[in-house]
Amino acid sequence: MKPDGFNPSPPDAGVGDDIYALAERLFPICRSITGNGVRQTLDILSGHVGLERREVATGTQVFDWTVPREWNIRAARITGPDGRVIVDFADCNLHVVSYSAPFNGTLSLQELKRHIHTLPEQPELIPYRTSYYAETWGFCMAHNRLAELPDGLYRVEIDSEFKDGSLTYGEYLHRGLTDREFLLSAHICHPSLANDNCSGLALLATIARHLRSRRTRYSYRFLFAPGTIGSLAWLAHNEAGTGRIDHGLVVSCAGDAGGPTYKRSRRGDAYIDRAMAHVLSRESKATLLDFWPYGYDERQFCSPGFNLPVGMFQRSAFGTFPQYHTSADDLQFIRPEHLASSFRILMDVIDIVEGDWTPLNLFPKGEPQLGRRGLYAALGGETSTGLSSIALLWVLNLADGNHSLLSMAERSGLSFTEIAAAASLLAEHGLLADAAFATA
């Protein structure tokens, strides 16, 4: 017997607009590795797919790390010598270094500059900076604006707080026919940065919503957690179950015009690496990168104590585009058509994971006569069905019980969809069986 006929995900003409609209709702929120901004973001995502929220208390040990104190900020501003506000957190949440300690005082311009971050090479932009694990305070502003400031005394106010609270993350599990899992993860700790990573959050929430009505072999776990410390907290809490993870993707920077880009897992030859490489072989500007121990949470999932089969999907790779970690990573930088393309790529990978099987040719001596079985007629002129006679012949030739459909697609250069459809047709006509169930 073979699995049910191949049923690829249907197209969704409006999916890019839907993902963009969700990213647009997430964009204004001030997020960090802890705090109410994360909870507010999870509230919005929960409106699209039911999330289970986890709170990990301050001081909890997660491997070699400790969950820090919870941080929240209410307001921050710098007022100039003439009484005018020159920097205001209310205008842009990138203006304050994330995890800044509270401060209230008057400083000279020279003293203030020690706490100001700018980008001299991009003088119109506000940088994004953090100080998660070193208590300090600071502001970020456009370099041109800093250069215009006159000497004098400046009033500085940061209304923030640290408290013993918790780190928050959310997860959603779409249960399949088996408990084998596909993990999809996006970091939730960045503030108003549209590509990095409102796009990733919105994309995965939309994929989760689309899977709710689909019957799947695999269970799909969606994780929305703060970078590094969040994935470590999840791994520490779920260590016993990580052996169920057969495939995984970290998703970020999914909405710009670049790429797409895939960074392989530490294993380098995991099934997810092959599936992503096959799907991206159809993309003219795709880039495949080998694993290296820097980046996002794939570093934690691929650490040697876990070595999970988790790669990273992006469009433009982080750090390679001028908008990265600046105020230029705004809602104009991401577009619905690029979000739709990212959605289609990841759904194609899911289709491979769900639709792959290993067929066995039941008439392996010579080619079976296809014409008398009506198979050539079933092609319908080939272009009308998306099938081709060469796909039938490749499947029959490689169906020796040792080649999965993905292997056949890789060997033939044909798409997985075409190979899977050909195998389904051949099985319907009694020419193939599932090698896993075939008997001598």
Query: Is the CB of residue 29 less than 8 Å from the CB of residue 36?
Result: no
Answer whether residue 191 shows pLDDT above 70: yes
Kindly state whether residues 214 and 311 are assigned to the same domain: yes
The predicted model gives 62-75 an average pLDDT of: 98
How far CA 285 is from CA of 221, 281, 322, 414, in Å, comes to 29, 9, 19, 19
Query: Is the CB of residue 130 less than 8 Å from the CB of residue 93?
Result: no
Kindly state whether residues 103 and 171 are assigned to the same domain: no
Query: Between 374 and 418, whose confidence is greater?
Result: 418
Structure token pair of residue 435: 């090698």
The pLDDT tens digits for 3-14 are: 455 667 766 779
Answer whether residue 348 shows pLDDT above 60: yes
Answer whether residue 385 shows pLDDT above 50: no
- pLDDT, averaged across the chain: 94
Question: What pLDDT sits at residue 313?
Answer: 98
pLDDT tier for residue 1 given thresholds of 50, 70 and 90: very low
Query: Between 258 and 388, whose confidence is greater?
Result: 258
Domain count for the chain: 3
* 237 carries a ligand binding annotation: no
Determine the Cα angle at 435 with ends 430 and 439, to 5°. Answer: 80
Answer whether residue 231 shows pLDDT above 50: yes
The predicted model gives 327-351 an average pLDDT of: 98
Inter-helix orientation angle 15-26/199-211, to 10°:
130
Show which of 122, 144, 163 is a domain's final residue. 163
Distance CA 188, CA 386 (A): 40
Question: What pLDDT sits at residue 2?
Answer: 47
**Could you tell me the end-to-end alpha-carbon distance of the chain, in angstroms, rounded to an integer?**
14
Show which of 111, 145, 163 is a domain's final residue. 163
Kindly state whether residues 262 and 141 are assigned to the same domain: no
Question: What pLDDT sits at residue 4?
Answer: 56
Distance CA 195, CA 192 (A): 9
The pLDDT tens digits for 85-143 are: 999 999 999 999 999 999 999 999 999 999 999 999 999 999 999 999 999 999 999 99
Structure token pair of residue 259: 């790429």
CATH code of 230's domain: 3.40.630.10
The predicted model gives 342-357 an average pLDDT of: 98
Residue 236 in any domain: the answer is: yes
Show which of 308, 330, 355 is a domain's final residue. 355
Query: Between 369 and 176, whose confidence is greater?
Result: 176
Residue 380 in any domain: the answer is: yes
Answer whether residue 386 shows pLDDT above 60: no
Closest-CA residue to 289 (of 309, 322, 308, 317): 317
Task: Calculate what percentage of the chain has a pLDDT beyond 70.
Answer: 95
The predicted model gives 143-154 an average pLDDT of: 97
Task: Calculate what percentage of the chain has a pLDDT beyond 90.
Answer: 91
Kindly state whether residues 97 and 239 are assigned to the same domain: no
Answer whether residue 380 shows pLDDT above 60: no
Residue 143 in any domain: the answer is: yes
Question: What pLDDT sits at residue 378?
Answer: 57
Question: What pLDDT sits at residue 294?
Answer: 96
Residue 128's domain comprises 71-163
Residue 439 in any domain: the answer is: no
* 190 carries a ligand binding annotation: yes
Answer whether residue 440 shows pLDDT above 50: no
CATH code of 140's domain: 3.50.30.90
Distance CA 302, CA 307 (A): 4
Answer whether residue 384 shows pLDDT above 80: no
* 196 carries a ligand binding annotation: yes
